[in-house]
Amino acid sequence: MTSSRAHACIKKLAPLSNLLNNGTKLAIGSSFRRWVSSESGGSEYFAEELSKGKRFAAVWGNGDFGRLGLGNLDSQWNPKPISSAAFVNQNLKEIACGGAHTLFLTENGDVYATGLNDYGQLGISDSQNYTMKPLRVSSIPKEIIKIAAGYHHSAAITVDGELYLWGNNTNGQLGLGKKAEKIVPHPCKVECLDGFSIKMATLGFEHSMAVTDKGETLSWGGGESGRLGHGHESSFLGFQKSSSEYTPRLIKGLEGVKVKSVSAGMLHSACISENGIVYFFGERDLGKWGFGKAKIATTPFMISTLPFSEEVACGGYHTCIITNGGELYTWGSNENGCLGIGCTDITYSPERVEGPFLWQLVSKVSCGWKHTAAISGGNVYTWGWGGSNGTFKEDGQSPGGQLGQGDDVDYIEPMLLNFHKSVKALDISCGFNHTAAILQCI
C-alpha cells in the first residue's frame, strides 16, 4: 500500500479507540514484532508430531460440530495438531475446510472427513449428524489425488481424472442431474463427465466448478448472481428465471481459454488462464466490488489491471490473486479487514497486500467468509475476521478464533502465525470460521 493510501485509511479509521472497542486491531507497531517473531502460542502441542519429513495437520478456530477433528467441540484460539494416529500414521497431502466440516487427503490417496454432516457432506453416513474425529471416506474405489470442500458439499478427484461429489444437492451443485436426490450422503461419480479428465475442482456456497486436463472450465449448481458464468439474466420486470444447472456445463465465455487456476466463492467465481489473465464473474455490486453500475457479471470478463497471475482464491465477498512474482493482490468487500491492506475500506480494484509480503514471496492463499490466510516463506499469516464481530451467537455457535492469534479480535494486516521453529507450512485452507494447514517437519 502506498503511504498516501495508508494515511487515508488511518484517517478514515480514526479515532483509534473506537476501533479497539469494536474488536479491530490495527497492526501498527505490534505488527512488525509479529512478522519477525519465531513462535506463537501453543507450540508446545507440536512436540509429539515432530519427526523429520513428517506431514501433519494443524487446526484452529470454531470447534462446533467437531469440524477441527480433535475429538471434542472446543474452539481453538491457537493452532493445535491432529495426531497422525487419526490417519493411521499416514502423511497428509492436502486439506480442505468447508462451512463446518474438514476434509483430509493422505499420501496414499485416502480421504478422511470430520465435522457437520447434516447434508451428508462427510460422505460417511446418512444417519450420523456430525463426528468429532476424522473418519475415512471408504466408498470411493480409486486413489484420490485432490479434494475440495464447499459450504455443505464435498468433492474428490481420482488418479484417472474422475470426479466424485457428495452432500447438499438442493441446487444441483453435485452435478448428478435434475432427478438426483437433494441430499447425497455417499460419494457419487459425476457420470456425465465421462470422456473428460478432471484435474481441478472448487466448491462454493451452492455451486461447483471443475477444470479438465485440457484447460476447459465447467460450472454447475445454483447460478444466482451469475456465479456460473453462463449468462443467466433476469426476465422482464426483474423476475428471475431458473439459474440452476444440474449437470456440468462448459463456460462458453471461456471457450479457447486454457484455465490453470479456479475458485468458487459465495456469490462469485474467478479463474486464471495459462497466459496469466484473471477472469471474474458473479456478484459485483458497487458496495462490494466497485466495478461500476452493473451489479452482476453473468459471463466472464477480464481484469486487466493485474500482473501475470498464478493462483486465485475467492471468499465470501473478497478475492485474492498471487502473481508469478509471488505478490498478493486482493479486492472486494473489506469487512473486518479481510483484505489485509491496513484498513477496512472497500477496495474497488486489485491492491497489493504489503507488510511482510514486501520482502517475502507468497506461495499459497485461502479465503474464508471474512478472513484470509496465506503461506510465505514456509510461514502462515492470517488476517480479517477474528470472531468478535459477526459471530452468529443466536445460532448457538461458539466464537471464532479462526485467525489463530490467541484472541477473537480482528486484524487488518497480515499477522505471523508460526507454529514451531522445526516445521514449515505446505498447504492452507480457510473454512467459514475455522482454518487448517498441512505442516512438514524440517
- Which pLDDT score, from 0 to 100, does residue 313 have? 98
The tens digit of pLDDT for each residue in 274-289 reads 999 999 999 865 344 4
Nearby residues of 101 by Cβ (< 8 Å), 6 or more positions away? 65, 67, 113, 114, 115, 116, 117, 121, 122, 149, 154, 431
- Which pLDDT score, from 0 to 100, does residue 408 have? 86
The tens digit of pLDDT for each residue in 38-85 reads 344 556 676 666 777 799 999 999 999 999 999 999 999 999 999 999
| Contact of 87 with 431, CB cutoff 8 Å | no
What share of the chain has pLDDT > 90, as a percent? 74
Q: Is the pTM of this model over 0.85?
A: yes
C-alpha grid cell for residue 36? 519477525
| φ and ψ of 238, to 5 deg | 85, 0
d(CA 216, CA 142): 24
Pairing between β-strand 268-273 and β-strand 362-367 as defined by DSSP bridges: unpaired
- 12-21, long-range: CB within 8 Å, 24+ apart, which pairs? 12/343, 12/345, 13/343, 13/344
Alpha-carbon distances of 129 from 69, 114, 156, 271, rounded to whole Å: 14, 11, 21, 34
C-alpha grid cell for residue 382? 492470517
Q: What is the DSSP string of 230-259?
A: S---B-GGGPBPP--EEEEEE-GGGTTPPE
- CA 58 to chain CA mean position, Å: 16
- Which pLDDT score, from 0 to 100, does residue 34 have? 46
C-alpha grid cell for residue 116? 457437520
| Contact of 230 with 295, CB cutoff 8 Å | no
How confident is the prediction for the chain on average, in pLDDT? 86
- Which pLDDT score, from 0 to 100, does residue 379 have? 96
Q: Which domains does the chain have, with CATH numbers?
A: 54-231+241-441 (2.130.10.30)
Point out the residues of the chain with pLDDT beneath 70. Answer: 1-44, 46-49, 233-242, 284-295, 388-399
Query: 138 by DSSP, 3-state: which?
Result: coil
- Which pLDDT score, from 0 to 100, does residue 297 have? 84
The tens digit of pLDDT for each residue in 356-409 reads 999 999 999 999 999 999 999 999 999 999 986 544 444 555 567 999 999 888
